[in-house]
Amino acid sequence: MSNILNCSLNYIAQDGRIIVYGGIDDTAADDLVILDTSQANFTWSIANVSTKSPLSRTYHTATLVGHYMIVIFGKNNEFISPTTQNEVFILDTSDKSNYKWISKFDPNLILPTSPTTPDQNLSTRNRNLVIIILSIVLALIGASFLIYFYRKRRLLRTDMFVHFPQIN
């Protein structure tokens, strides 16, 4: 397996894989290696890519859209034309055993991993928070009344006893 190169992109996939693409040693590279962090012992492997790799890339960036890693910018050697820097490369990572560089991408085909319905856990958390706050407020009010009545009762008892000075 190749060494991790300088200026490579480290990209974290949804299932705990870290995809390392590109980088530079003496020249830019198109290496694509995987660090699997889903097991107790992390393992490195060289990615199996069934399609031709795009130009080697270094000093680039990427983002995840669904199972697609979109690689943009960067350069492939020290002297690169400005048009090459603007190329966009897309890696389909949906099949762990066979990645594919694709040339067409339809963002409308990407579906969210979970439905975008209102979060029911949020309403449960809000309800629990309201119950806790109300319980605390009621406990403070109750404690205040108890203290007030205790002090009032104590003052009434001391007023009932009249202290006469002792005459000798």
| Same domain? 15 vs 98 | yes
The domain of 140 spans 120-161
Q: Domain end: 109, 134, 150, which one?
A: 109
| Same domain? 153 vs 85 | no
Listed range (49-63, 112-126, 152-166) with the worst mean pLDDT: 112-126
Q: Domain end: 90, 109, 128, which one?
A: 109
Sheet holding 17-21, edge to edge: 9-12, 17-21, 32-36, 43-46
Total of domains in the chain = 2
| Same domain? 73 vs 125 | no
Contacts of 97 (CB under 8 A, 6+ apart): 48
| Same domain? 22 vs 98 | yes
> What is the predicted pLDDT for the residue at 144?
93
Average pLDDT, the chain: 73
